[in-house]
Each structure stands twice: as C-alpha cells, then as structure tokens.
Structure 1
Amino acid sequence: MGAEAVGVVLAAGMGTRVGADGNKAYLPLDGRSMLVWSLDTLARVPEIARTVLVFRQGESELARKTVERELGDASVEFVEGGPTRHASERNMLRHLAADIESGAVDAVVIHDAARPLAGAAMFATALALAREFGGALPALPVDSLARVTDRGVETVPGSLVRVQTPQAFRARELLDAYRLAEADGFEGTDTSSCIERYTDVAVRTFPGSAANLKVTYAGDIGIAHRLLTERNRSAGPR
C-alpha cells in the first residue's frame, strides 16, 4: 500500500468577530455547520485518504455529535486543538507522527473551517503541488498599497498576495519544522510561516478563488450563502 495524504480541518478558533456566542465553525450555513462543508468536500477528493478534525478544547462531544448528525458514518479522526493555531497544528502532527515517520502518510493538507466554500479541485491542486515541490498554497493578488509619509502618499513596491487555505505540505518536512519550532518556542501565523522558517522548502502558490471566502464578520454568512447558492446552481442537479 502506498503513502497516503491526510486532510485536516482546523475548527479550534473563536467566533467573536462574526458575532457567534461560541465557536463560529458550528454556525449553520444552508442546513449544516460550516465545518461540515469542508469535511464533506475532503471526502470528495480521491487523493485524500484520511480526514482529521481539530476541535477546540472542551468541545469534543460537540464536534463528534455534529459530525455524526450531519455526515452520518463518515470516517473522521478527532484531535483536540490548543490555545493557538500553531498549537492546534502541533497537536495534529503529534497525532500523525508515527504514520509520518513510517512513511504511511506523505502529505498533509490543512484547511480553515472558516472557509467552507473551498472546492475539491483546490484541495487536489494543493496536494499535487506539495507532493512535487514540498509545499503549496492558494493566493490572490492584492491591489496596490500605499503608505503616507512626510512627503505624501507613496505606492508600496512589490507584488503582494492574500494567502488562503488549503495549504499542503510534504509530511516529513512539516513534522520536522514543528518539532524545531517547539524547541525554539516559535509560533507561526500560519503553517507556511513555520515551514519557511525551518526548512528549505520553497512553498509554491497557485491561483486562489474569490469564492473561497473566509467567514469573519456577521455579514459574511449571507455572502457565503449567496456564493453557495450560485455554486449549486452552476453545478446543476446531482
């Protein structure tokens, strides 16, 4: 049996800006929790053999019951997250460490539950590029930025992008990077920042999607609903 890829959904964050009383990952979107949309999409990616849900501390029962109610007998592994995104990813890698070290798992795809509309093709692209180059993430160009100085407004040079998830990486390099980060007490802002600090992997970018919305504020739920309706209309009857 060949090495397998693992898809990970991070749902250990808070929901204060979106107006949620608790974890925004469980907010309803067209009849199912936001996190379930991503779990369901991962199940439709043939290249991904295993799915892991990283839940917030104290929400084990909520996570398990939500998945059971909304996805039935879907095969999902559960890992308790930490107080930060980096800590949650570290816990996930500890869960997978033995399989990574044995070579049973060769790649990990990490996605935010707050982005429920990422399509299966985006996961497949991230995984294929990660297996070939070591790491990959979707990105969108940013309009030119400017800064105000004593001399007036100056355009900021360079090409800037907005980074999205899913982000995918070869598993061995990812595990090694997080072990080195733990020894240093370093915590990255996202997965790629840790990879870039502790490995020689040149993380590749590929075109992101404006429809891959991150639900951050209360109004984003309505936007996500409209985007989902448009996607389902375009897809036609299933």
Structure 2
Amino acid sequence: MTASHAFWAVIPAAGVGRRMGADRPKQYLELAGRTVLEYTLNIFIRHPRITGLAVAIGAEDPWFPELSIRTDKPMLVVHGGEERCHSVLNALRALEGQVSDDDWMLVHDAARPCLGREDLDRLLETLEHDPVGGLLAVPVSDTLKRGDADGRVEQTVDRSGLWRAFTPQMFRYRALMRALQTALAEGATVTDDASAMERAGHAPRLVEGSPSNIKITSPADLALAGFLLERDRA
C-alpha cells in the first residue's frame, strides 16, 4: 500500500430529511447564502488531494441541477437507493473501472457542511497507509442514560471507550464494496460504512475530529451550522 492511491469523495445525498419538516430535503436548504450540499461538495472540490467525487441523489431530484457547482475534477452523479447504504453502494458501482481496488473512498454525509480542513487533512494523513481505514469520531463526554419503555432511567451507561461516529469514513474501494454487498445480501441495513466493515471482520481506526463537524437533522442544527460557517468565514 502506497500513498500513490487516489482519494475519492462519495456523498450519499438521496435522503429526504423528514425530521426537518421543510419543503425540500435538508441538503438543499439554504445556509449562509448557499445550500447545505454546495458547502459539503466544495469541501472536497477544493482539497488538493481529492481526485474526484461521486454523488448519489434521489431518482426524481429537481434541486441538484439548480446548484452552482464549479469543478475541474471528475464528478459522477448517480441515483441513490432506499437507505444510505444503498446510495453508497450505487455510487461505488458507478466508479467501477475508473478507480483501483485500493483507492480510498471517503464517504461523507451530505448534511455535514462544517467539516474542517484540519480534520480532513488529519484523516488522510493518519489513514493513508493503514491496512483497514477508519473514520472521524469524537469521544463521548456526556453522561449516558439508558431509558425504559416508560421513559425513566433504567441504567447509567459507562461511557469509557465510547465514541460518536462522524464522517468522512475512509476505506479501500474493493473492501468497502464487498462489505456493503455482503451486509445487504444478509439482510443487514447498516447505518454507516464502518459498521459494514466491522461485520466483515475489520477493525476501523478511530481518528479524533472536531465536534463542530455536526450533522444537520433539525432546524436547530441548521442554525448552528450557519453560525459555525459564518464564524469560519470571518
């Protein structure tokens, strides 16, 4: 394994984001003058080590063609699937023949527009020679409670060793595709790429990132992301 292998960004952007209660998916909501997805894509478009991008959108998505995206890098746009894992797999299949088995795939949530350059650099530098790959994550700092069916505390959970899984999650092309294909064939709908790799017997490496790399799931998250982006711009 050498550093000569390419780095590709894979962005699953086919989600509908029902919890936002908006008239369009959350990745197309406006944020500090641009859409969430435009901010997310530009993170990878502007990074010199990213070779290209593969974006999975909804089959009847009317918003993506209206985006203002300028790039000299190759960018494939494919139809996503029912769940995130299906969208990622569709994007990987579209890259068949354009990437090598050992090229790195950086799968990143469309609704994480606040990924910092330092975090992305750290992920690339930490994992580029790793035999498995890994993900950005943040150690759990809050006290965790397990609730019962009545909404009462059943147990305080030991947080030592627990991490919040973020993205990008970075794995080799062929290994990730096989892991996702196997998980789906066995009826497992994995919620992230690291889970698929874990099911395949791998131990992804945790790379500590910034808590500012938030995922937008609610109106409050959108407001916070806007603040963080304006702060970084200033």
Secondary structure of the 2:104 match is strand
Residue of structure 2 equivalent to 1:197: 199
Residue of structure 1 equivalent to 2:70: 72
CA distance in 1, matches of 2:39, 2:184: 32
> Which stretch shifts more, 138-147 or 44-53?
138-147
> Which stretch shifts more, 91-100 or 46-55?
91-100
CA distance in 1, matches of 2:162, 2:136: 13
Secondary structure of the 2:128 match is helix
Secondary structure of the 1:169 match is strand
Residues 122, 166 of structure 1: 8 Å contact kept: no
Kindly state the Cα deviation for residue 148 of structure 1 after the two structures are TM-superposed. 6.4
Residue of structure 1 equivalent to 2:11: 9
Specify whether residues 148 and 194 from structure 1 end up closer, same or farther in structure 2 by C-alpha distance, changes over 3 A only. closer
Kindly state the Cα deviation for residue 116 of structure 1 after the two structures are TM-superposed. 0.6
2:110 corresponds to 1:113: yes
CA distance in 2, matches of 1:18, 1:141: 27
> Which stretch shifts more, 50-59 or 140-149?
140-149
Residues 11, 88 of structure 2: 8 Å contact kept: no
CA distance in 1, matches of 2:71, 2:88: 25
Kindly state the Cα deviation for residue 209 of structure 1 after the two structures are TM-superposed. 1.3
Residue of structure 2 equivalent to 1:236: none
Residue of structure 2 equivalent to 1:89: 88
Aligned with residue 180 of structure 2, among 163, 178, 184 = 178
Kindly state the Cα deviation for residue 206 of structure 1 after the two structures are TM-superposed. 1.4
Secondary structure of the 2:51 match is strand
Residue of structure 2 equivalent to 1:124: 121
Specify whether residues 181 and 229 from structure 1 end up closer, same or farther in structure 2 by C-alpha distance, changes over 3 A only. same
Structure 1 residues 53-81: Cα deviation after superposition (integer angstroms, max 9, x where no partner): 2111211x531331xxx223554221110
Kindly state the Cα deviation for residue 212 of structure 1 after the two structures are TM-superposed. 0.9
Unaligned 5+ runs, structure 2: none
Specify whether residues 144 and 89 from structure 1 end up closer, same or farther in structure 2 by C-alpha distance, changes over 3 A only. same
Specify whether residues 114 and 224 from structure 1 end up closer, same or farther in structure 2 by C-alpha distance, changes over 3 A only. same
Residues 30, 225 of structure 1: 8 Å contact kept: yes
Q: How does 1:149-228 map to 2 (within 5 A)?
A: 154-157=155-158, 158-198=160-200, 200-228=201-229
CA distance in 2, matches of 1:49, 1:23: 27
Residue of structure 1 equivalent to 2:134: 136
> Which stretch shifts more, 179-188 or 13-22?
179-188
Structure 2 letter corresponding to 1:35: L
Question: Which structure features the higher share of helix residues?
Answer: 1
Residues 108, 168 of structure 1: 8 Å contact kept: yes
How many residues are treated as equivalent by the alignment? 223
Residues 85, 192 of structure 2: 8 Å contact kept: yes
Kindly state the Cα deviation for residue 99 of structure 1 after the two structures are TM-superposed. 3.2
Specify whether residues 210 and 185 from structure 1 end up closer, same or farther in structure 2 by C-alpha distance, changes over 3 A only. same
Report percent identity of matched pairs: 35
Unaligned 5+ runs, structure 1: 234-238
Residue of structure 2 equivalent to 1:46: 48
Residues 12, 81 of structure 1: 8 Å contact kept: yes
CA distance in 2, matches of 1:109, 1:174: 10
Specify whether residues 15 and 5 from structure 1 end up closer, same or farther in structure 2 by C-alpha distance, changes over 3 A only. same
